[in-house]
Structure 1
């Protein structure tokens, strides 16, 4: 019987600072990535845009003399910080990949800017992902209604299978 060549898979894993995404990555490494395959793991971190609120003066107008504006130095410091956080999360995720698999695997990393829902969907399409793996924050109905569910949005809008990994609750 002839052996069928194993297809290369592009597995996109959405990561962030949360325990849920690192758990999803760990679960993916143990249960989805094949030890002897040519899988490519694509780690995607999305930096959300910084929201700046202008203070209101006593009349309800924005930006009056009693108000203040952020200087470009503060914006630059905020951007440096978000870049450091993103870099740290990506490095932690890459280290986890090497520690869990104990072998070389093709890993690509991307740090993108924008709304995570839109960016992740776009990256799946742009990079030709065969599967999308995401963690679930496990928000309740009310919180999900206000914040929106990134995983639900992606599951509804990407054209590949989506694996949403929920971290088990710990007792205590």
Structure 2
């Protein structure tokens, strides 16, 4: 009898941030893509939770703003950013605990668009799941849409989960 070779599971990337939209997308993904913990087999799929910490602003010494941002203030802002990332990832991991899935956490410094597209390319993800803030045309045109960018540039299918209006 031939040995059965178990295929590698899916790599599902989920974009998380401090918004309720990303938490809703994570919960939707778990309910619809992942088995609950009731199954006895070991998890095959890997859920990669990705959070993009904004890069700290860089101020030129010539314009006077550098004086306002001393080393202590800059360190304090960086600590706040790291603490926020830890809090977001802790919350996301707690949501995942009741599901039969391996969880990998990636917190990266940079623009969310580039971080997400870079991550799915680097790990060869099967799908990118992300929430939608539901911005209108004008706001999307002014500030851009991470989900819009990723849907056009990611090297895998992108699933944008819209949170129902309450």
Separation (CA, whole Å) in 2 of partners of 1:138 and 1:7: 35
1:127-150 residue CA offsets vs partner (Å, 9 max, x unmatched): 111100000000011111111000
Shift, 1:63, TM fit: 1.8
What is aligned with 2:143?
Answer: 147
What is aligned with 2:51?
Answer: 45
Separation (CA, whole Å) in 2 of partners of 1:114 and 1:68: 24
Compare CA radii of gyration and give the structure with the larger one: 1
What is aligned with 1:18?
Answer: 19
Correspondence 1:109 to 2:109: no
Shift, 1:34, TM fit: 3.6
Structure 1 gap ranges (5+): 55-60
Separation (CA, whole Å) in 1 of partners of 2:63 and 2:163: 43
Correspondence 1:156 to 2:152: yes
Aligned pairs, number: 158
Structure 2 gap ranges (5+): none
CA RMSD of aligned residues (A): 2.4
Please give the secondary structure, in 2, of the residue aligned with 1:156: helix
Q: TM-score, normalised by structure 1?
A: 0.83
